[in-house]
Amino acid sequence: MAVKAEYIWIDGAKPTAKLRSKTKVMLDLDEVKSLDDLPLWGFDGSSTQQAEGHASDCALKPVNYYLDPIRGWPHVLVMTEVCNPEDMSPHVSNTRAACVDMAGKHMGEECLFGIEQEYTFYDGIKPLGWPDNGFPAPQGGYYCGVGSDEVYGREVVEDHMDACMEAGLSISGINAEVMPAQWEYQIGPLGAPEVADQIWISRWLLYRIAEEYGVSATLAAKPVKGDWNGAGAHTNFSTKAMREDGGIKVIEEACEKLGKRAMLHIENYGAGIEDRLTGAHETQSWEQFSWGVSDRGASIRIPWQVNVDGKGYLEDRRPNANCDPYVVCRLMVESVCDL
Ligand code: ADP
Ligand code: MN
Ligand code: MN
Ligand code: MN
């Protein structure tokens, strides 16, 4: 038996990086037992906005792998970091390395993240299931809806959930969203960088599975202008101290700390964040910072149950669907634990 290893990396596209991947056939390998079985590889960085043509090689360093649910065992999906081939230092487009450093510095705090990844299905140039002329009925009945007049693309969503589970990802749920053709799944709670690796792999699986149905999925933050919800990546966060009795005090202190660096977070939470965080559609304006219990119009929400229990986690509602979870996790640890 041979192993087909799908090497996945994040390119240098701006303002939003994209996923790329290619397959390595390893004839002499029966099964991947550890990262050591997966060699370094390379690619043409001049085709991915990561290098100039005259020095175009970039290196791929395997950092994590999962069972490939599409090809099945023993094939794998390999998460990689892009590195400079001269010395294997992180490439400028490599945001994972800094996330690993920051998380490693704060292992003792036992940080956990749960990310709610929202996305929108498209059929050509319009959201899946939307009429050719005009708009569907206004928002109201679609969130967690059921029925072919309420939700579009469920078969793809189900396939994607199964694939994530078969790959061994910590997917904790799915739901239809407020805008028709918009959906969400959650990954976590997990530490960093694992949660971010799994978000990127789950995104790759989403695009890949949607291929089979001839639809596309987009992480655009405000795919339809006007009175339609945008797509976010609410990031739920806790430290060990927040999860212990009396942790609510630590959560409130964290909210205050996050407020001190509000604009830095906004600038790093995904392209087009001003279009999504308008102050309407269950968001706080990108220009304001606020936190509150049960408040879906705040930048940071403390869930109702957390307030009742006096411990738990906070929800940063600001990250866009198209955010880089390595950057979001690094900033969260930096702002709450490092400064
Ligand atoms: P919402 O009510 O905002 O839609 P969801 O149920 O979609 O909430 O998502 C909640 C997320 O919070 C899940 O991803 C879950 O894993 C995560 N979560 C739960 N407990 C913790 C915790 N202690 N620390 C970090 N994340 C957590
Ligand atoms: Mn949710
Ligand atoms: Mn949601
Ligand atoms: Mn949420």
How far apart are the CA of 283 and the centre of ligand 4, in A?
11
161 and 136 in a single domain? The answer is: yes
**Pair of tokens at residue 26:** 């390893």
Mutate to test the pocket of ligand 1, among 236, 242, 251, 315 (most ligand atoms within 8 A of CB): 236
In DSSP terms, 20 is beta-bridged to: 9
Same domain, 268 and 140: yes
- Please tell me the total count of domains within the chain: 2
Between the CA of residue 124 and those of 136, 154, 159, 188, 213, what are the distances in Å? 17, 18, 21, 32, 12
Instruction: Return the ligand 1 atom nearest residue 175 CA.
Output: 7
**Residues of 273-305 as b/e, b for ≥16 C-beta within 10 angstroms?**
beebbeeebebbebeebebeeebebbbbbbeee
What per-residue confidence (pLDDT) applies to 292?
97
Res 48: pLDDT? 95
Give the closest ligand to the alpha carbon of residue 114: 1
Instruction: Say if residue 283's pLDDT is above 90.
Output: yes
Q: Which helix (H) or strand (E) holds 130?
A: none
The domain that contains 39 carries what CATH number?
3.10.20.70
Counting atoms of ligand 1 from 1, which one is nearest the CA of 187? 14
Nearest CA to ligand 1 atom 1: 116
Structural domain span for residue 208: 103-338
pLDDT > 90? residue 197: yes
Q: Residue 142's pLDDT is what?
A: 96
- Identify the nearest ligand to the CA of 231 by its number: 3
Q: Are strands 291-293 and 300-302 parallel, antiparallel or unpaired?
A: parallel
What pLDDT is attached to residue 1? 83
Strand order in the sheet with 57-67: 19-26, 3-10, 76-83, 57-67, 41-44
CB atoms within 10 A of CB 263: 11
In the predicted model, is pLDDT for residue 54 greater than 90?
no
Long-range contacts of 155-161 (CB under 8 A, 24+ apart): 155/213, 156/121, 156/209, 156/210, 156/213, 156/215, 156/217, 157/183, 157/185, 159/209, 159/212, 160/185, 160/202, 160/205, 160/206, 160/209, 160/210, 161/185
Q: Per residue in 124-135, pLDDT tens?
A: 999 999 999 889
pLDDT at 77: 98
User: Do 193 and 254 fall into the same domain?
Assistant: yes
- How many whole angstroms from 118 Cα to the centroid of ligand 4? 10
Which residue, 67, 93, 119, sits at the end of a domain? 93
For residues 19 and 133, membership in a common domain is answered with no
The pLDDT confidence band at residue 284, using thresholds 50, 70 and 90, is very high
> Domain boundary residue among 27, 62, 93?
93
Residue 243 shares a structural domain with residue 165: yes
Which residue is closest in CA terms to ligand 1's atom 15? 114
Q: What is the pLDDT averaged over residues 282-307?
A: 97
Q: Mean pLDDT score of the chain, rounded to an integer? A: 97
Identify residue 303 by its one-letter amino acid code: P
Same domain, 78 and 219: no
- Taking the CA of residue 170 as reference, the ligand 1 atom at the shortest distance is 16
Residue 318 tokens, joined? 């600001």
Using CA of residue 280, residue 266, residue 82, residue 26, what is the dihedral sign? negative
Task: State which of 109, 115, 116, 245 you would mutate to test the pocket of ligand 1, scoring each by most atoms of that ligand within 8 A of its C-beta.
Answer: 116
The domain boundary, picked from 34, 67, 93, lies at 93
Minimal CA–CA distance to 29: which of 95, 96, 75? 75
Please tell me the distance from the alpha carbon of residue 175 to that of residue 198, in angstroms, as a whole number: 18
Which ligand 1 atom is the nearest neighbour of the CA of 315?
3
At 244, the pLDDT band (50, 70, 90 cuts) reads very high
The whole-number average pLDDT for the span 89-104 is 98
Assess whether 142 and 60 both reside in one domain. Answer: no
Question: Considering the chain, what percentage of its residues have pLDDT values greater than 90?
Answer: 97
Tell me how far the alpha carbon of residue 274 lies from the centroid of ligand 1, in angstroms. Answer: 24
Question: Which of 186, 194, 239, 337 best tests ligand 1's pocket when mutated (most atoms within 8 Å of CB)?
Answer: 186
Give the model's confidence band at 53: pLDDT under 50 very low, under 70 low, under 90 confident, else very high.
confident
Contact 128, 215 (CB under 8 A): yes
**Contact (Cβ atoms closer than 8 angstroms) between residue 50 and residue 12:** yes
- Cα 56 to Cα 49: distance, rounded to the nearest angstrom: 10
CA dihedral (323, 329, 330, 331) positive or negative: positive
- Assess whether pLDDT exceeds 90 at residue 52: no
Within 6 A (CB) of ligand 1 lie 112-114, 116, 172, 186, 188-189, 234, 236-238, 243, 312-313, 315
User: Does residue 62 have a cis bond before it (omega within 30 degrees)?
Assistant: no
